[in-house]
């Protein structure tokens, strides 16, 4: 039992995310993106020195890119799956105005493991060197001699973010967090990052957490701040709570085709609102996005 | 989208049945982004000829999802309506082990004559047009079982002689480089599009037409392919989905993702 880490979202960002930090942003594809934290970073205009996505970033990365706040991007995918390419990522990449550290999923996964374990580098399975990715990213990939076989082996640099921005469905006030659906790489990001800011759908009692201790995804000792953000993944999904808002995402994709539309989107949905107001204004939409048989609907 | 008005099945449904035919009892398949067609093919195989076939769905890593319903996103929560699920980190780990997964479904914004896939960049990597979304797990094609490639875009922009950026290795630069590499994976086995199914000539390792979908002319495929595709005449027709297969596909697809 420790002190509560529940803080207002503005304090969580202003006190933990320093300008120029290496930030990992959780969620995968159209799911569990910590959008409340992402929007607050944009409101505060925090520059991100290096942004790491899970293997697959979506709105979480594209909105930060569109806000012009990212210097370097470490990723193996930014897109909107069946809904289309990521407009800001695509535009900045085609203009050459964002530095991309091109990665693949095995490197990001094992690189976080190396970061979490203090491993100086991590050897990667043979065969990965036959993609062109290591050639364009010497900062993340290199070759070393395998001391056992003497063979040349592809290795990856450890990934050690300063801050991880993550979404959990449930957490107690100290930050013992439960992801009710898939974990993606969120747990790895928590293990590898110096600081963790958690946004959660619901605060529960420590008794509820400790009744299933092995069901805890992230232990509180890794968590610096807990932000209550019901509906905070919108317009992406929060597993077990609500699905993604396809209509809103399509609206974003249409607006973000150019810089002006992106600015309009940011003005309307980020700068001219607070997270409390955003949450209020999307309550009705989100109740329409709950699916039959969701864990929340069934009660837990 | 129907290929012609005399058929009552769609391109996607046909592609799912063709892919299902490539999946064998006891095998394990993995897949990534935007994978409604392979997911449908896997479930179809399980419910017909391959009851002991297993598949792992995208980043959710659910094992044998029931497809209640079939969903468009590879990380959808509803995929956890499944037999079980494993952590993504474990799946990536075992992709490296190399002898666990038999089939990897792949695709690309470019696919070349040797089955190399590109999800990263058309043109130069520094100044791409278009910039693709990124490669996720495709570099593991070098290591995992055999590759089944699918795409809805059969045109000269997608099917090129050589990919501008190799993000998912196929038979590399052809027979010599493939032999020298001595990779663990078996390489690409089949490519399925709305026009045809293609396999690879075991000698040249170049793509060749295996069967034409009903209503498609050979010349259509030749015109839509940006490299000289191998043809061994007579080219057979792809078997259309059976009524039983269509019933199974439609029962799992109330939202009509494959229609």
Question: Which ipTM did the prediction report?
Answer: 0.95
Q: Compute the average pLDDT of residues A165-173.
A: 98
Q: Compute the average pLDDT of residues B135-153.
A: 96
% of chain A with per-residue pLDDT over 70: 97
Q: Identify whether A74 is part of a domain.
A: yes
A79 touching B (Cβ < 8 Å): yes
A118 touching B (Cβ < 8 Å): no
Where b means 16+ CB within 10 Å and e means fewer, B39-66 reads bbbbbbbbbbebeebbbbbbbbbbbbbe
> Backbone phi, then psi, for A168, in 5-degree steps?
-125, 150
Which residues constitute the domain of residue B209?
A: 11-252
Confidence bin at B43 (pLDDT 50/70/90) = very high
Q: Compute the average pLDDT of residues A105-118.
A: 98
The sheet with strand A122-123 has its strands ordered as: A122-123, A152-156, A141-145
Q: Compute the average pLDDT of residues B55-79.
A: 95
Q: Identify whether A187 is part of a domain.
A: yes
pLDDT value at residue A292: 73
- Which residues in chain A are closer than 8 Å to B62, comparing Cβ atoms? 182
Q: Does position A206 have pLDDT exceeding 50, yes or no? A: yes
% of chain B with per-residue pLDDT over 70: 97
Best mutation target, B107, B126, B133, to test chain A (most A CBs within 10 A): B133
Nearest chain A residue (CA) to B60 = A182
pLDDT value at residue B2: 43
pLDDT value at residue B35: 87
pLDDT value at residue B34: 75
The CB density around residue A250, as the number of other CB atoms within 10 Å, is: 14
What are the pLDDT digits (tens) for B189-240?
999 999 999 999 999 999 999 999 999 999 999 999 999 999 999 999 999 9
Alpha carbons B120 and B37: distance in angstroms, whole number: 22
**How many structural domains comprise chain B?**
1
Burial, A148: exposed, middle or buried (Cβ in 10 Å; 0-12, 13-18, 19+)? Answer: exposed
Q: Compute the average pLDDT of residues B57-76.
A: 94
pLDDT value at residue B33: 81
Taking a C-beta distance cutoff of 8 angstroms, is the pair B85, B63 a contact?
A: yes
Q: Identify whether B71 is part of a domain.
A: yes
Alpha carbons A206 and A192: distance in angstroms, whole number: 24
For A117, B44, B163, the CA distances from B121, given in Å and listed in that order, are 33, 34, 9
- Which residues in chain A are closer than 8 Å to B135, comparing Cβ atoms? 76-77, 102, 104-105, 131, 133
What are the pLDDT digits (tens) for A1-25?
689 999 999 999 999 999 999 999 9
pLDDT value at residue B5: 40
Q: What is the dihedral of CA B94, B96, B102, B107, to 10 degrees?
A: 120
What are the pLDDT digits (tens) for A275-298?
999 999 999 999 999 977 665 555
Q: Identify whether A137 is part of a domain.
A: no
Confidence bin at A300 (pLDDT 50/70/90) = very low
Confidence bin at B1 (pLDDT 50/70/90) = very low
Q: Does position A87 have pLDDT exceeding 90, yes or no? A: yes
The CB density around residue A151, as the number of other CB atoms within 10 Å, is: 9
Nearest chain B residue (CA) to A217 = B87
> CA end-to-end span of chain A, whole Å?
23
Contact B80 A181 (CB under 8 A): yes
Q: Compute the average pLDDT of residues B41-55.
A: 98
Contact A130 B181 (CB under 8 A): yes
Contact B127 A78 (CB under 8 A): no
Q: Compute the average pLDDT of residues A63-73.
A: 98
Confidence bin at B6 (pLDDT 50/70/90) = very low
Sign of the CA dihedral with A269 first, then A272, A274, and A278 last: negative
Q: Identify whether A38 is part of a domain.
A: yes
For residue B136, give the nearest of A104, A125, A181 by CB distance. Answer: A104
| Mean pLDDT of chain B, nearest integer | 95
pLDDT value at residue A4: 98
A117-121, A132-136, B32-36: range with lowest mean pLDDT: B32-36
Q: Identify whether A177 is part of a domain.
A: yes
- Which residues in chain B are closer than 8 Å to A81, comparing Cβ atoms? 33-34, 72-74
DSSP code, position A57: B
pLDDT value at residue A298: 52
Which residues constitute the domain of residue A269?
A: 9-104+159-298
| Mean pLDDT of chain A, nearest integer | 96
Q: Compute the average pLDDT of residues B248-254.
A: 97
- CATH number where B232 lies: 3.40.1080.10
What are the pLDDT digits (tens) for A228-250?
999 999 999 999 999 999 999 99
Taking a C-beta distance cutoff of 8 angstroms, is the pair B51, B13 a contact?
A: no
pLDDT value at residue B32: 84
Taking a C-beta distance cutoff of 8 angstroms, is the pair B202, B227 a contact?
A: no
Confidence bin at B7 (pLDDT 50/70/90) = low
What are the pLDDT digits (tens) for B147-177?
999 999 999 999 999 999 999 999 999 999 9
Q: Does position A203 have pLDDT exceeding 90, yes or no? A: yes
Contact A94 B60 (CB under 8 A): no
Q: Could you tell me whether strands B187-192 and B146-150 are parallel, antiparallel, or unpaired per DSSP bridges?
A: parallel
Q: Compute the average pLDDT of residues B65-94.
A: 96
pLDDT value at residue A291: 79
Q: Does position A299 have pLDDT exceeding 70, yes or no? A: no
Q: Identify whether B259 is part of a domain.
A: no
**How many structural domains comprise chain A?**
1
Alpha carbons B110 and B124: distance in angstroms, whole number: 13
For residue A81, give the nearest of B72, B98, B128 by CB distance. Answer: B72
Q: Does position A115 have pLDDT exceeding 70, yes or no? A: yes
């Amino acid at each position: 039992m420790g002190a509560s880490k529940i803080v207002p979202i503005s304090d969580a960002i202003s006190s933990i995310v320093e300008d120029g930090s290496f930030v990992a942003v959780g969620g995968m594809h159209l799911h569990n993106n910590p959008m409340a934290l992402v929007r607050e970073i944009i409101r505060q205009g925090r520059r991100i020195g290096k942004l790491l996505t899970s293997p697959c970033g979506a709105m979480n990365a594209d909105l930060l890119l569109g806000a012009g706040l990212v210097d370097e991007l470490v990723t193996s995918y930014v897109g909107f799956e069946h809904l289309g390419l990521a407009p800001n990522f695509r535009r900045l990449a085609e203009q050459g105005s964002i530095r991309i550290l091109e990665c693949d999923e095995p490197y990001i996964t094992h690189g976080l493991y190396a970061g979490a374990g203090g491993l100086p580098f991590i050897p990667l399975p043979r065969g990965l060197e036959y993609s062109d990715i290591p050639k364009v990213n010497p900062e993340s990939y290199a070759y070393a001699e395998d001391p056992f076989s003497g063979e040349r082996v592809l290795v990856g640099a450890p990934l050690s973010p300063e801050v991880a921005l993550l979404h959990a469905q449930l957490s107690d006030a100290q930050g013992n967090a439960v992801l009710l659906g898939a974990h993606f790489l969120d747990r790895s990001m928590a293990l590898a990052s110096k600081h963790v800011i958690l946004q959660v759908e619901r605060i529960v009692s420590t008794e509820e957490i400790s009744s299933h201790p092995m069901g805890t995804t992230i232990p509180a000792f890794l968590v610096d701040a807990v932000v209550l953000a019901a509906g905070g993944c919108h317009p992406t999904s929060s597993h077990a709570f609500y699905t993604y808002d396809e209509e809103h995402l399509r609206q974003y994709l249409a607006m973000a085709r150019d810089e002006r539309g992106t600015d309009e989107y940011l003005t309307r949905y980020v700068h001219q609102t607070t997270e409390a107001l955003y949450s209020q204004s999307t309550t009705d939409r989100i109740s329409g996005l709950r699916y039959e048989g969701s864990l929340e609907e069934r009660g837990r | 989208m129907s290929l012609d008005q005399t058929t009552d099945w769609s391109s996607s449904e046909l592609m799912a049945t063709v892919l299902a035919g490539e999946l064998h009892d006891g095998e394990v398949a993995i897949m990534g982004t935007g994978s409604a067609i392979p997911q449908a093919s896997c479930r179809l195989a399980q419910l017909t000829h391959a009851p002991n076939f297993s598949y792992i769905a995208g980043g959710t890593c659910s094992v044998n999802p029931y497809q209640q319903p079939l969903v468009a996103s590879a990380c959808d929560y509803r995929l956890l309506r499944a037999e079980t699920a494993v952590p993504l980190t474990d799946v990536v780990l075992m992709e490296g082990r190399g002898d666990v997964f038999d089939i990897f479904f792949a695709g690309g914004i470019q696919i070349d004559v040797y089955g190399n896939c590109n999800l990263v960049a058309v043109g130069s990597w520094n100044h791409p047009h278009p910039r693709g979304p990124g490669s996720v797990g495709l570099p593991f094609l070098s290591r995992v079982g055999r590759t089944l490639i699918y795409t809805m875009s059969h045109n000269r922009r997608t099917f090129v002689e050589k990919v501008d950026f190799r993000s998912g290795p196929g038979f590399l630069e052809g027979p010599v480089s493939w032999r020298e590499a001595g990779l663990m994976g078996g390489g690409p086995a089949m490519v399925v599009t709305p026009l045809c199914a293609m396999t690879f000539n075991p000698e040249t390792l170049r793509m060749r037409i295996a069967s034409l979908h009903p209503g498609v002319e050979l010349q259509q495929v030749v015109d839509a392919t940006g490299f000289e595709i191998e043809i061994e005449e007579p080219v057979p027709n792809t078997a259309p989905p059976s009524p039983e297969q269509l019933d199974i596909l439609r029962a799992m697809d109330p939202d009509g993702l494959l229609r």
